[in-house]
Amino acid sequence: MAKVLSELHLLGRESDLSSERGVSCTGELPEPSDPTLVERAATAREKLGKRTLILGHHYQRDEVIEFADITGDSFKLARAAADRGDSEFIVFCGVHFMAESADILTSPKQQVVLPDLAAGCSMADMAASNQVRDAWEIFEKLGISRKTIPITYMNSSAAIKAFTGENGGSICTSSNAERAMRWALENGEKIFFLPDQHLGRNTAVLRLGLNLTDCVVWNPWKNNGGLTDDEIRGAKIILWRGHCSVHGRFTLENVKEVRARVPSVQILVHPECQYEVVSAADVVGSTESIIKTIEAAPQGSSWAIGTELNLVKRLARDNPGKKITFLDRTICYCSTMNRIDLPHLVWALESLVRGKVINQIKVPEKTAKEARVALERMLALP
């Protein structure tokens, strides 16, 4: 239990610990087979009215997206949370780091709710605050910290965002990673990019025109990050050894297989995919960009998409005149993003109707203050 408490403190979580043990054990969660769930969600939503804003990430289930006031990727939803100061409650249908960002960007009068506290992010968990600060201490000893700008992907804990704010860096998303990294190189000589090595590498090489040799990977589980002092000093981009458990599954073999199987297919992938996959794709873009690309595509065109399954299924359903397939036929849902389901959403909304705020995400003010600096730098980028 002491370890659990320590980890929760490390990530800046102040949610009720009993909820962390599993809300379904309380008996309050509706049965997933309850035929009235849709009606109950609609009724609760109507009662809450404008007091409540429901944000839904594109990777959420259709049953949840149906009740979202705003849908988008993490960048769009971060902006939405910051812009809606009139909403008393923000129900975030996404994962923990997104709800943390919403709490950081909203006013103290607003309360952010995550319907299921188990909805986390494996990538965010790959960068612990103590590991990141240990790496920075080594940069300080090597004399490179003053010319190194941290750029942290949105998929990170509040504690990592706070580290970024403290050290002059900015947050980025897949939508604006190029702009954020250009800004960093305009203000420093090196970038410390975390926690997704693939987004950092792909952006540096394919968008900024750097070489693969300009990038090194920092492995937090090895002494000195698994690098020599000269490798660290000579690198332009120091990439944290993290990745997305879904996008990291796509391979170059997947690309070759689908090209052989589907005539005239175009490969469309997310920049969290491996470098080899992104290099072999026809189009690379953020979640929002993927959606816009398919919407603008001509009827009859064929696409193999490398991103989360819920979104690809929705795109196929909403674009019946286009041939849309998965890049990897064995791909699975994002296990943590998929935890937000209709029973959890109904439970959260009905609790608010009764005047009970459950699963509130509250970032400690000290952490929030520095994280807010990094997030606002991101929002200020053109």
User: CA 258 → CA 16, 22, 250, 266, 324, distances in Å?
Assistant: 46, 41, 12, 9, 11
Domain 2-122+336-364 has CATH 3.40.50.10800: yes
Calculate the alpha carbon distances from 251 to 210, 245, 337, 381 in Å: 23, 13, 22, 33
Q: pTM for this one?
A: 0.86
For domain 247-326, the CATH class is alpha beta
Is the domain 124-240 a CATH 3.40.50.10800 member? yes
Nearest residue to 357 via CA among 118, 119, 111, 95: 111
Cα–Cα nearest to 375, from 82, 57, 95: 82
Q: What is the pLDDT of residue 78?
A: 79
Please give the Cα distance from 203 to 353 (Å, whole number).
45
pLDDT at 136: 98
Q: Looking at residue 373, what is its pLDDT?
A: 96
Task: Give the pLDDT score at 1.
Answer: 34
What pLDDT score does 9 carry?
A: 32
Q: Could you state, in order of their start, the residue ranges of all structural domains in the chain?
A: 2-122+336-364, 124-240, 247-326
Same fold? 2-122+336-364, 124-240? yes
Taking the C-alpha atoms of residue 110 and residue 296, their distance in angstroms, rounded to an integer, is 37
Give CA separation, 151 vs 155, 173, 265, 377, in Å: 12, 10, 35, 11
* pLDDT by 10s per residue, the chain, length 382: 333 333 333 333 333 333 333 444 355 788 888 899 999 999 999 999 999 999 998 888 899 999 999 998 887 887 888 888 889 999 999 999 999 999 999 999 999 999 999 998 889 999 999 999 999 999 999 999 999 999 999 999 999 999 999 999 999 999 899 999 999 999 999 999 999 999 999 999 999 999 999 999 999 999 999 999 999 999 999 999 999 988 888 999 999 999 999 999 999 999 999 999 999 999 999 989 999 999 999 999 999 999 988 889 999 999 999 999 999 877 667 767 778 999 999 999 999 999 999 999 999 999 999 999 999 999 898 7
